[in-house]
Structure 1
Amino acid sequence: MTLNVRVSGALGDFVADSVGESGTYENVSEYVRDLIRRDKARVEAERFTVLKAELAAAFAAPDTGYHALDAETVIARNARR
């Protein structure tokens, strides 16, 4: 995938300072790839936090909210749908 992005003003200056000999990254592409990786990791961490909260609530629920089922019952119920 190829992306073309125009960045100007203060953002452009910031990117220019972040790449090259004086910056952390060798080129703009490397900088953008790192930003995307970090954003992906942030989104995955947020989703994991939500999942953990949902699971914690499920495990904290009283056992009276659940009832035992055997495989045959589940298969029969799903076959009727």
Structure 2
Amino acid sequence: MSRTTTMTVRVGGALSDFVAANVGDEGSYENVSEYIRDLIRRDKERAEAEAFGRLKAELAHAFAVPEDSYQPLTAAEVIARNRT
């Protein structure tokens, strides 16, 4: 289910000038809302890419370990280890 939230953001000075330069006839966005939505989407994509990068690095490290060093663990042992 999609939800819409209305937010009020106040910016002044150089930030306001920068937003104004990117909105309207001279800018890349029709209105401030469109601009803010795009910024949020990009930040979300960046955060997801960083999380994926961390996961890839962790998996690469795990798979680089020699197989004979693996230890069998039960699900309960894994859960207990991850709680610490």
The TM-score bracket by the shorter chain reads: 0.7 to 0.9
TM-score when normalising by structure 2: 0.78
Pairing 1:62–2:60 present: no
TM-score when normalising by structure 1: 0.81
Same amino acid, percent of matched pairs? 63
Q: 2:41 aligns with which of 37, 54, 61?
A: 37
Equivalent position of 2:32 in the other structure:
28
Moved beyond 3 Å, runs of 4+? none
Q: Which runs of 5+ in 2 are unaligned?
A: 78-84
- Counterpart Cα distance in 1 of 2:6 and 2:24: 21
SS across alignment from 1:6: coil
Q: Which runs of 5+ in 1 are unaligned?
A: none
Alpha-carbon RMSD: 1.9
Aligned length: 73
Rg larger for: 1
